[in-house]
Amino acid sequence: MTKIKRHRGWGHLVTVPVAWAIVAVNVLMIVWIVLSSLKSTREMALHPWSWPKHFIWSNYRTAWVSAQFGAGVGNSLLLIIGSGLACILLAAPAAYALSRFRMRSSGLHTALFVLGLGIPAQTMFIPLYVAFDRIGLVDSVWGLMLIYTGAGIPYALFLLTAFFRSLPVELEEAAALDGAGPGYTFWRIMLPLARSGLITIFVLQAIGHWGETFFALVMLHTKTTLSLSLYNFTQTMQYTGSRYSVLFAGLVILIAPLLVLYIVLGRRIIEGISAGYSK
Amino acid sequence: MASAIVVGPTTEGGGTRPVGPGRRHSPFHRARRRMFVPFVYPALAVYMLIMVAPTLFTLWLSLNRWAGAGPMQWAGLHNYTAMFRDPVFRTSFVNTFWIVVGVGAAVFAIAFGMTILLQDMAGRRFARAVVFFPSLVPGIAISIMWGYLFNPDGLVNTLLADVGVHSHPEWLAQDNMFKVILIGMTWLSSGVYTVIFMAAVDRIPPELYQAAEIEGASAFQRFRYVTFPLMKDVVSVCSVLWCVGALKTFEFLLVFSAESGALPPTNIWNFAMYSYAEAFNPDGTADYGIAAACGVIVLLLTGLLMFLARRVLRRDADTY
């Protein structure tokens, strides 16, 4: 990265502290959530900034078992892995064909897919609910997985089309000269080359669906996801009294995997999201 | 190896070589033509089934009266007129407007501000990573935390008491709740746009800044005449995506419900909440027609805002 050398005016004396203050608030927020999850609810309210007197690890056990966060984590994991894989398995060949086959109808098909980026959940949920109700997919994790898969296709296709377009055409030609058909070329040559793009998309979809609430709330009744467990727990607190420390343990269960993923794959996530915007 | 090839001029056209009549009928192309359907149509089928067909059905449903079971009753535009007469819908309309335009303006202003602040600060990579993180966290988690912060004995009041301020408003009272929510949403969303704007700024050739420097441009002038014009495209795409996302805001409002099992008070509803409530409100009858009509309004607004955002920013870019 080329650094721009520039005179630093007095403005920097103001702006740099402001920037770091904003950064500090964000970091403190995370620290505060983690510390709060290890206190009692009373201590949380009375001494919000102090180090916990005793680490109350049982908050996590309560959250995991009796507040159903454990079941929520299981279902949410199943949902993001299943829908992420299915979405990529469907979108990758389509994106490859649309970006590389040079068919007359490619443009039209791509446009049809991209249109889906603008379809809000509010215009989909009633027919989906009614139809799924009739075929027994309401209150089923598989039904919800199908919705996540379908709703993820436009975005995955949009990013993957750009990705395949950037791969060298010579490889396909060489493969064709060696007698490989389009299917073989795709699965054995192009798909492995696109691996980093596929991982990025899988991670982005996983992050997006990890805490998805709207469709989960519409489609599931007795089953739960992580976000539904959180929501239900806030609702029961109105009967059982505040148990914010348990709630915050739930927040940590929700946020911690994201944080770990972010620390490991941060650059990829940031670049993947900015790429989607600057195309 | 592959990356070395990508850096050639082939990247530009995406490998699209001139398609002559000979190429189009080569065995290579014929084999691909045969594979087009098996490659594209599975994805297309699932996409049509999950997204397009329900949307078309919602359009039809919005013109009918239906409670989910029994026969549908043709209603023409009645659902729409009834909806616009409903004061709750009008509140939802105003609130949606505040979220899309009000929060949007604040988010973009903050993102621009942060972009300038971080432009050549030491440690900007770290700062960028930290600022970005909240936008990865599900809205429902952020809103739960936000609700706790502004609780009567939450952190905000504790902090205010620490600095000696004891007369603070009741943050979560009827009148203030929505404002508190708007601020929370601004915080939640600013990070993404900061990061995207920063990426756009990084692509601007440094020579332009050096030239501006030699001409004696101030920091503000550098932003106004170099940075901003060159970011127009990114800002345009961002504003479209912001509108699409902001119109669907749901989780952030859902958590602020007053009593168990019920939805939040109607004065903080937006379109998404209204539509959900018309279909699934625990203490009301289902009216799928009106819920669908509200969904159609969201769809139309999404389309309109996408069109306008692109249009306005494109025209500006031309006059520059």
What CATH number does residue B90 fall under? 1.10.3720.10
Q: What is the mean pLDDT of chain A?
A: 86
Question: What DSSP assignment string belongs to A88-142?
Answer: HHHHHHHHHHHHHS--TTHHHHHHHHHHGGG--GGGTHHHHHHHHHHTT-TT-HH
Dig out the tokens for B76 from the structure. Answer: 């023409």
Residues A63-73: what's their mean pLDDT? 89
The structure tokens 């616009």 sit at B84
In this prediction, residue B241 carries a pLDDT of: 82
Instruction: Check CB contact of A235 with chain B, cutoff 8 Å.
Output: yes
Three-state DSSP class for residue B74: strand
Partner A contacted by B158 (CB < 8 A): yes
Nearby residues of A175 by Cβ (< 8 Å), 6 or more positions away:
A184, A185, A189
Give the separation between CA B290 and CA B86, rounded to whole angstroms. 11
List the single residue in A15, A26, A120 with the smallest CB-CB distance to B131: A26
Assess whether pLDDT exceeds 70 at residue B315. no
pLDDT tens-digit series, residues B227-242: 888 888 788 888 888 8
Optimal mutation site among A42, A49, A119, interface B, most CBs of chain B within 10 A: A119
pLDDT on residue B2? 34
* Chain A contacts in chain B segment 17-46 (CB below 8 A): 17, 19, 28-29, 31-33, 35-36, 38-40, 42-44, 46
User: Which of 71-110 (B) contact A at CB < 8 A?
Assistant: none
The pLDDT value recorded for residue B115 is 84
B140–A231 C-beta distance less than 8 A: yes
Q: Is B14 on the interface with A (CB under 8 A)?
A: yes
User: Nearest-CA distance from B9 to chain A in Å?
Assistant: 10
Residue where one domain finishes, among candidates A60, A84, A99: A60
Q: d(Cα B125, Cα B49) in Å, to the nearest integer?
A: 42
Domain shared by B204 and B159, yes or no: yes
Which residues of chain A neighbour B261 with C-beta distances below 8 Å? 235
Q: What is the pLDDT of residue A104?
A: 83
Residues B184-200 as b or e (16 or more Cβ within 10 Å = b): bbbbbbbbbbbbbbbbb
Residues B164 and B37 in one domain: no
Residue range B187-239, pLDDT digits in tens: 888 888 888 888 888 888 888 888 888 888 887 788 788 888 888 878 888 88
What's the pLDDT score for residue A9?
59
Burial class (CB in 10 A: 0-12, 13-18, 19+), A278: middle
pLDDT greater than 60 at residue B22: no
- Domain residues for A111? 68-241
A23 and A93 in a single domain? The answer is: no
pLDDT of residue B12: 37
Q: What is the pLDDT of residue B307?
A: 79
B30 and B130 fall within a common domain: no
Residues A56 and A72 in one domain: no
Distance, in Å, from the CA atom of B182 to the CA atom of B106, rounded to the nearest integer, reads 10
Average pLDDT over residues B298-310: 83
Residue A152 lies in a domain: yes
Average pLDDT, stretch B168-183?
A: 82
- Same domain? For B106 and B145 the reply is yes
pLDDT at A255: 93
Q: Is residue B68 part of a domain?
A: no
What residue spans of A135-243 are helical by DSSP H? 141-165, 169-177, 182-184, 191-193, 195-210, 214-219, 226-240
- Across the interface, of B134, B137, B302, the residue whose CB is closest to A118 is B302
CB contact A94 to B (< 8 Å): yes
Contact at CB, A210 and B138, closer than 8 angstroms: yes
> Is A193 found in the same domain as A169?
yes
- Both B56 and B82 in one domain: the answer is no
- Counted across chains A and B, CB pairs separated by less than 8 A come out at 300
Residue of chain B whose alpha carbon sits nearest to that of A262: B133
Give me the pLDDT at residue A150, please.
96
**Residue A94 pLDDT > 80:** yes
Query: For residue B261, what pLDDT band results from cuts at 50, 70 and 90?
Result: low
Per-residue pLDDT band at A165 (split at 50, 70, 90) = confident
On whether both B118 and B264 belong to a single domain, the answer is yes
Name the pLDDT band for A277 (thresholds 50, 70, 90): low
Q: Average of pLDDT values for B135-150?
A: 87
Chain A residues touching residue B28 (CB < 8 angstroms): 173, 176
Res. A56 pLDDT band, cuts 50 70 90: confident
Domain of residue B275: give its range.
77-319
Residue A5 has pLDDT above 60, yes or no: no
ipTM: 0.88
Mark whether B160 and B49 lie in a shared domain.
no
Are both B43 and B89 inside the same structural domain?
no
- Do B114 and A239 lie within an 8 Å CB cutoff? no
| Per-residue pLDDT reduced to its tens digit, B30-65 | 888 888 889 999 999 999 999 999 999 999 999 999
Q: Are residues B135 and B52 in the same domain?
A: no
Question: What is the rounded average pLDDT for all residues in chain B?
Answer: 82
Amino acid identity at B269: W
A77 contact B CB<8A: no
Question: Quick check: A239 pLDDT over 80?
Answer: no
Position B147 confidence tier, pLDDT thresholds 50, 70, 90: confident
pLDDT beyond 50 at B259? yes
% of chain B residues with pLDDT over 70? 87
A136 lies in some domain: yes
- Residue A192 in contact with partner chain B when CB distance is under 8 A: no
**Model pLDDT for residues B87-111, shown as the tens digit of each residue:** 999 999 999 999 999 999 999 999 9
Q: Which range among A186-195, B157-166, B278-287, B305-314 shows the weakest confidence by mean pLDDT?
A: B305-314
